Amino acid sequence: MDNTTRAKVVLPAELPLIPLRDIVVFPGMLVPLFVGREKSIRAADEAVAKGNLLMLCAQKKANNEEPAPEDIYSIGCVSEIMQVLRLPDGTVKIMVEGIRRAAIDAFLEREPFYRVAARGVPVRAPDRDARTEAMMRGLHHLFDRYVKISNRLPTQAMARIAETVNPEELTDIIMGHFALKTEERQQILAELDVRNRMETIMALLEREIEIIQIEKRLEGRVKKQMDQSQREYYLNEQMKAIQKELGRGDVRSELDELRERVKKAGMPAEAEAKAQK
């Protein structure tokens, strides 16, 4: 389902809501969710019983076990439940696909789960002019660099991105594979101007590429230092083994002992200096 088809999906007047921790779902994103809170399990059951659609919104603090409405971002993604699997520990695993951006207009119920009134939000698509084309190319180029340096994307997904010509769809597909903090992902989800969204993603890609390059340089230095230390340790251990085989003991200890004898001998300063060499 492409973005044009998703935008035509008619949203119900009411939707069950699941607040998400540490994840932001984008349109077109196919993702497994492990649902453990009783409210969220009931919301998923309600969605399955009434057409499989539900509202997914990130909560502002991941460690909040019982988020109130003000603790949940108002912009989220209406999604479709594709598969449900109930696990032995009581957790429910659901596979969802993001359908379209939506905003919560009101919380209609809080028990036994959150039920909300939500509406699809209009997206401002850019003109297909030279500037948009240049931004598309820049976004493709930066994401290609990010993938190559981070090794975080399968070849099949990269091929899909390379074939995408719709700016809005491109940003959503990239965000499905771009590792960012929840706050940054939420910022991009809530950005309705596609051109502004593209500029933000490009800036974040440039930042992440620079960070990864610095991390790799630091790892290289640490590895080099560790290799040097390991070589020195190996050589020292090898020398000790050779000395043991020769029955000589520790050469340094013998030298220290000789120096101590020279000091105790009471030699003139000039003679002692020569003996210590």
Pick the CATH number of 3-120 from 2.30.130.40, 3.30.420.40, 2.60.200.30, 3.10.310.30: 2.30.130.40
Cis before 112 (ω within 30): yes
pLDDT at 237: 75
Name which of 168, 172, 171, 175 is nearest 139 in CA terms: 171
Spatial separation of the C-alpha atoms in residues 125 and 109, rounded to whole Å? 34
pLDDT at 267: 62
Residue 17 bridge partners (DSSP): 55, 114
Name which of 108, 106, 18, 15 is nearest 57 in CA terms: 18
- As a whole number, mean pLDDT of residues 44-68 equals 94
pLDDT at 229: 72
Cβ pair 193, 124 in contact under 8 A:
yes
- As a whole number, mean pLDDT of residues 176-188 equals 92
Cβ pair 196, 127 in contact under 8 A:
no
What is the percentage of the chain residues whose pLDDT exceeds 90? Answer: 57
Give the amino acid at 157.
A
pTM to 2 decimal places: 0.75
> Mapping DSSP to helix (H, G, I), strand (E, B) and coil, where does residue 30 land?
strand
Quote the mean pLDDT of the chain: 85
* Locus of tokens 């700016």: 167
Task: Express each pLDDT in 212-266 by its tens digit.
Answer: 899 888 888 877 777 777 777 777 777 776 666 666 555 455 556 666 765 666 6
**Domain ranges within the chain, ordered by starting residue:** 3-120, 123-259
What is the percentage of the chain residues whose pLDDT exceeds 70? Answer: 82
Domain at 123-259: CATH code: 1.20.58.1480
- As a whole number, mean pLDDT of residues 125-144 equals 91
- As a whole number, mean pLDDT of residues 180-197 equals 94
* Residue 24 confidence class, pLDDT cut points 50, 70, 90: very high
pLDDT at 147: 86
Give the amino acid at 104.
I
7 sits in the region (left: phi over 0; alpha: psi -120 to 50; else beta) called alpha
Q: Record the tokens describing residue 33, joined without a space.
A: 């969710």
* CA dist 215 → 138, 179, 210, 226, 263 (Å): 24, 16, 9, 16, 53
* Locus of tokens 């930066």: 142
Task: Express each pLDDT in 166-178 by its tens digit.
Answer: 999 999 999 988 8
- pLDDT at residue 131 greater than cutoff 90: yes
Cβ pair 74, 57 in contact under 8 A:
yes
Name which of 203, 200, 139, 196 is nearest 173 in CA terms: 139
- As a whole number, mean pLDDT of residues 188-195 equals 95
pLDDT at 268: 65
- Collect all residues with Cβ–Cβ distance below 8 Å to 143 and sequence separation of at least 6: 161, 174, 178, 205
